[in-house]
Structure 1
Amino acid sequence: MTSAKSWHRIGQLTDIPKLGARCVLTPFGRLAVFRTADDEVYAIEDRCPHKGGPLSQGIVHDTSVTCPLHNMVISLKSGKVLGPDEGAVRAFSVRIDPETSAIELSLTEASAEAPYPVAAE
């Protein structure tokens, strides 16, 4: 049996620059919420599994982020480390309200769902 997701409004899409991130403090710890060049939004834990580096300060490219400390690349979709390295961080469900462009985050469960792109204006 799957529990229903509880969505929490955390800001507007325009609060996050393209290829940038903002942080949110939650009961799960500090999360980094990323916006891609295509206006997809993802949320993962804001700590690199290697040495705990702040992923929110990393470089966003496509649907990945590179840790600013040691260049470990993490998938924004799954939270898994890419390439020859190993490890993972938790990924959380995010959606965009198509009418208001509000970003909503689900803290009910960690997941690796696809992003909810912004509706065309």
Structure 2
Amino acid sequence: MTHWTDIGSLEDIPVRGARVVRTAAGCIAVFRTSADEVYALDDTCPHKGGPLSEGIVHGASVTCPLHNRVFAFATGEAQGADPEVVATYPARIEAGRILLDLAALKARSAA
């Protein structure tokens, strides 16, 4: 079951930037690409715990600010030899507003 939640305007996030959404189950980083697409990932890098929201956004990826690991927005998978993955969450833009499907987050925290 989808549960879309409005978290703010697209304009609230700078182009190639991020904002953090704090939830009871943890922080989610919401990214805006140069093409005005939005993606949501866990904010914590699985390798060294770096805040991905403070990383460098390029194309459809973000680079962790602590150790330069690159994560794909669409899959959460790290590029390179190490098979690290961060959780991704459905996000979309509707009438200039960013919507997140928090049902996915609730399902993860219930497991």
Q: TM-score over 0.5 for the alignment? A: yes
Hey, what does 1:93 align to over in structure 2?
90
Q: Which amino acid aligns with 2:99?
A: E
Which of 99, 103, 110 is the equivalent residue of 1:104?
99
User: What's the offset of the Cα at 1:86?
Assistant: 2.0
TM-score, with structure 1 as normaliser: 0.83
> Residue 108 of structure 1: SS of its match in structure 2?
helix
Runs of 4 or more above 3 Å deviation: none
For 2:25 and 2:59, the matched residues in 1 are separated by: 26
Which of 19, 22, 25 is the equivalent residue of 2:19?
22
Which of 50, 57, 61 is the equivalent residue of 1:60?
57
The more displaced of 21-30 and 63-72 is 21-30
- List gaps (5 residues or longer) in structure 1: 111-121
The more displaced of 5-14 and 20-29 is 20-29
What is the number of equivalent residue pairs in this alignment?
105
User: What's the offset of the Cα at 1:28?
Assistant: 2.8
Q: Which amino acid aligns with 1:53?
A: G
For 2:13 and 2:98, the matched residues in 1 are separated by: 10
TM-score, with structure 2 as normaliser: 0.90
Q: CA RMSD in A?
A: 1.0
User: What's the offset of the Cα at 1:85?
Assistant: 2.3
